[in-house]
């Protein structure tokens, strides 16, 4: 079975990082989202066209390379992080990859995402793999701490070896329309990140309207965000296709106006292979196949990989395996 299609994309080395731009309040105020139109469009994802058989297996292998393999629990330990990193090193059993003809492909997750105090543990566990560590910082998940404290969290994460920093915005700046304050904070975070890429978590379930979500997305991109991300995974409402569509449309508009490509990361509640395929279809249809690369698209998920493995095995055997056949190590 030849699934090499999953690896045929241009290298990320050609990607131009977002330098940041002056805050354009006129652009922000002109931004409006039509909820009913977005809901109608989102409702068509996964219904008009689907991928089947070998093509579906190829897409699922691709999905693994777009995954931020995540553990963000209150009871996380160094041992749990080490097990997660071991899983990242070998996300699919070798015999499955061999039967798929994918044993020579680099099927590894886009990153491992952990709390900032486990950065050093994850960096050591992933040494030599090329898999980056993404650290959640800035008083995750609420973002309500003194600015100096949040900046120091970022600095410590970078010093520990994190190559990506997932920050959370203060949702209050959006709810009261204080775009300058949001912009200034993201600029400070971007400076503290240095060469590490910054993903801005909007906490979309707490921003009240799709227009607020779109405006917050724009402000974060103008301030220098490399990615915009939906959720911490701790809100009552996390990633969904309607919210994603609003954010993706802003990414497209931003690219048209500035020439800069911004990444997108839906997170929270994405737990099945079917979910993954819908989000990938959304990205492909709205932004093009080019955006289905790890430097432009990630899933933030903890249990998604297990279901993808089950679907891959089902594609080969016709039977669904129990969850315990895909252990962490």
Question: What SS3 string covers 226-280?
Answer: CEEECCCCCCCCCCCHHHHHHHHHHHHHHHHHHCCCCEEECECCCCCHHHHHHHH
Q: Which of 150, 229, 278, 307 is catalytic?
A: 229
Distance CA 140, CA 148 (A): 14
Average pLDDT over residues 239-267: 97
Q: If DSSP codes are grouped into helix, strand and coil, which group holds residue 294?
A: coil
pLDDT in tens, 60-80: 999 999 999 999 999 999 999
Task: Give the pLDDT confidence score for residue 10 in this predicted structure.
Answer: 46
Catalytic residue from among 87, 199, 215, 265: 265
| 166 is known as an active-site residue | yes
pLDDT at 1 over 60: no
Quick one: pLDDT at residue 139?
A: 95
Instruction: Let me know if 87 is a catalytic residue.
Output: no
Superfamily of domain 21-316 in the CATH hierarchy: Aldolase class I (3.20.20.70)
Q: Which residue in 68, 119, 166, 275 is the catalytic one?
A: 166
Backbone angles phi and psi of 84, in degrees to 5: -60, -40
Cα–Cα dist 139/146, whole Å: 9
Which of 77, 50, 111, 42 minimizes the C-alpha distance to 282? Answer: 42
Residue 51 is predicted with a pLDDT of: 77
Q: Over 60: is that where the pLDDT of 53 sits?
A: yes
Q: Which token pair is 175?
A: 């709810």
Q: Residue 6: its pLDDT value, please?
A: 46
Whether the predicted pLDDT of 317 surpasses 90: no
Rounded Cα distance between 69 and 306, Å, is 11
Identify the residue with better confidence: 166 or 329. 166
Given a contact cutoff of 8 angstroms between Cβ atoms, the answer to whether 278 and 255 are in contact is no
Burial class of residue 284, CB neighbours in 10 A (0-12, 13-18, 19+):
middle
């Amino acid at each position: 079975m030849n699934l090499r299609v999953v690896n045929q994309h241009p290298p990320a080395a050609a990607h131009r990082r977002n330098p940041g731009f002056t805050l354009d309040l006129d652009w922000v105020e002109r931004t409006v989202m039509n909820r009913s139109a977005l809901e109608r469009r989102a409702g068509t994802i996964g219904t008009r066209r689907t991928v089947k058989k070998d093509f579906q297996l190829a897409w699922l292998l691709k999905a693994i390379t777009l995954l931020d393999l995540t553990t963000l629990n209150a009871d996380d330990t160094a041992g749990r992080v080490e097990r997660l990193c071991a899983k990242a090193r070998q996300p699919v059993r070798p015999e499955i990859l061999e039967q798929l003809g994918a044993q020579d492909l680099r099927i590894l997750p886009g990153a491992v995402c952990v709390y900032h105090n486990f950065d050093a543990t994850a960096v050591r566990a992933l040494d030599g793999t090329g898999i980056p560590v993404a650290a959640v910082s800035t008083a995750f998940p609420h973002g309500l701490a003194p600015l100096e404290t949040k900046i120091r969290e970022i600095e410590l994460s970078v010093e520990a070896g994190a190559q990506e920093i997932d920050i959370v915005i203060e949702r209050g700046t959006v709810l009261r329309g204080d775009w300058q304050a949001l912009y200034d904070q993201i600029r400070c975070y971007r400076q503290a990140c240095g060469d590490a890429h910054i993903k801005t978590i909007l906490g979309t379930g707490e921003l009240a309207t799709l227009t607020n979500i779109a405006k917050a997305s724009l402000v974060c991109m103008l301030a220098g965000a490399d990615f915009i991300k939906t959720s911490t995974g701790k809100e009552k409402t996390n990633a969904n296709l309607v919210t994603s569509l609003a954010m993706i449309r802003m990414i497209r508009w931003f690219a048209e106006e500035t020439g800069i490509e911004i990444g997108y990361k839906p997170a929270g509640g994405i737990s099945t292979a079917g979910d993954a395929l819908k989000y990938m279809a959304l990205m492909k249809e709205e932004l093009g196949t080019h955006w289905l690369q790890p430097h432009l698209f990630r899933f933030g998920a903890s249990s998604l990989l297990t279901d993808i493995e089950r679907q891959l095995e089902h594609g080969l055997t016709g039977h669904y395996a129990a969850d315990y056949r895909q252990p962490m190590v």
